[in-house]
Structure 1
Amino acid sequence: MNQPELLALGLDGVLIRFATAYSDAANSAAQHLAAALTSDPIPGQTEIAPGLGSVLLRFDRLATHRADILAALQHRLAAPQTAPSATQHWTIPACFGGTAGADLAEAAALAGRTEEALISELCATDLRVLALGFAPGQPYLGTLPEHWQMPRLPALTPRVEAGTITTALRQIVLFAAPSPTGWRALGRSAFRPFTAATAEPFLLRPGDTLRFTPASVEDIAGLIEKGDPLGGAVRSFLK
């Protein structure tokens, strides 16, 4: 992987870009840098936001200058990057197909698998949180094998519900809120990755891993009715 680019972004931002196309190496590098800057901020730093292959840093223009931020970043990037010290792993119940996953049959056909085989493969895979975005706390998960490299839908689905599990481009998006989407809906969970009115509004962090476990439509409906944002999910901490 080449040396990252340091790009000015607006009056108070710097984008540290590791790649212009997705790679696991660029994603890991972005997550590691973001973790380091969060635990040990540069003087004047006000915000860190990691993406799929980049990190956005914002700074206070009254407290520092862009040149100082760039110099500090170059120093940080020259040092070996270390991974975050702890990672969360989640097991999340979900149902698939039917009204919860209206595009499952098409996705299976594109992947050259049966619906059962595709979901069995998905539920046997530990997915990593690659980035949060599009909506608060909403995770992009992956990456999946090559036969999951399917395009987005040719037209938007007007609305999917919170908890909908969708796929495109070897990734999974677990919707944090109702939304239109061009990704194919496979199923639904009762898990809510973002809930503003709780003490822990953001449940997932970049670098976390999660695995879906099959449940019935009735089970997921019951979990949704309870209103618990965990939605039956189990969290463990890995060192």
Structure 2
Amino acid sequence: MTTAPPIEAEVLPSGLDGLLVRFSRTPDPAAMAAARRFAAALEAAPPKELAGGQAEIAPALVSVLVRFDLERTDRAALRSTLERIAGATVQGPLDMPDPARRWTVPVAFGGDQGPQLGQVARALGIGEDAAVAEICASDLRVLTIGFAPGQPYIGLLPPRWDLPRLPEITPSVPAGSVVVAVRQIVLFGADSATGWQLVGRAALRTFVPDRADPMPLQGGDAIRFARATADEIARLSDAGDRMGGARLEVLR
């Protein structure tokens, strides 16, 4: 007896020059892994239908947008190819592909840097130190870049971190804020409003236009957070490159 895959893929039109490959309508972990695997497959071996034309492969949390050159691409042929690749993707494995790179990012948790850490810890039924330890021990990935230039959505935290968003928007949190909700972490590259809970602050700026690499984080990168003091983050913030002490390892 054949078991159906836990998710299905849809290939949908997106404007005149795009096709959206969607694996779920909700932030399902298997769909997130499928979107990342599908995007990685396209990037490693672009379909022949895209050869010779300008193409864009833009992953989101549970979908991938493929934009193509209208004059050089057969839409129907490309759609058929994407359906084939997406169909193979949902057959599994449906876990994140092995990362090519890993970042270690210092963060000051709690206190003035993360005033809602205590609230998060109470919701989890653990102490603040235990909550920080879980964040720092989690095998996290950049799920997608979005909302603002260079801004990463990072996950997934353990299932009990499926915490709701706040009932009201916080008008502004500072650049470097580390916020949590729905098993994910966002690290803001600039001051921003948020409905997520603020648990820490990093000195890393995820988008600096005049830096040699303006947006250093990439989808699929592994992320490890390392606990730092508020004074250490203040000193790292003064560094000219605005990398905030983040360290990169190339794994393969």
TM-score (norm 1): 0.91
C-alpha displacement of 1:84: 6.3
1:135 alignment counterpart: 148
1:10 alignment counterpart: 15
Partners in 2 of 1:23 and 1:99 — Cα distance?
Answer: 33
2:76 alignment counterpart: 67
1:232 alignment counterpart: 245
C-alpha displacement of 1:103: 1.3
C-alpha displacement of 1:73: 1.4
1:103 alignment counterpart: 116
Change (3 A) 1:84 1:110: closer
Give the residue type in structure 1 aligned to 2:36. Answer: Q
2:190 alignment counterpart: 177
Report Cα offsets for 1:183-216 as digits up to 9, x if no partner: 1000101112222222322211222111111111
Stretch of structure 1 that moved more, 15-24 or 214-223: 15-24
1:26 alignment counterpart: 31
1:116 aligns with 2:129: yes
Count of residue pairs the alignment pairs up:
239
Identify the match of residue 58 of structure 2 among 38, 49, 52.
49
Partners in 2 of 1:58 and 1:68 — Cα distance?
Answer: 14
C-alpha displacement of 1:85: 7.5
Secondary structure, counterpart of 2:8 in structure 1: coil
Partners in 1 of 2:128 and 2:11 — Cα distance?
Answer: 44
Percent identity between the two aligned chains: 47
1:77 alignment counterpart: 86
TM-score (norm 2): 0.87
**Matched-pair contact (CA < 8 Å) for 1:102–1:185:** yes
**Matched-pair contact (CA < 8 Å) for 1:112–1:147:** no
Give the residue type in structure 2 aligned to 1:122. Answer: I
Stretch of structure 1 that moved more, 41-50 or 112-121: 41-50
Give the residue type in structure 2 aligned to 1:46. Answer: A
Displaced runs of 4 or more, over 6 A? 80-85
2:3 alignment counterpart: none
Partners in 2 of 1:11 and 1:144 — Cα distance?
Answer: 37
**Matched-pair contact (CA < 8 Å) for 2:103–2:246:** yes
RMSD of equivalent CA atoms: 2.0
- Which runs of no fewer than 5 residues in structure 2 stay unpaired? 1-5
- Which runs of no fewer than 5 residues in structure 1 stay unpaired? none
**Matched-pair contact (CA < 8 Å) for 2:139–2:224:** yes
1:163 aligns with 2:168: no
Partners in 1 of 2:247 and 2:217 — Cα distance?
Answer: 12
Secondary structure, counterpart of 2:34 in structure 1: helix
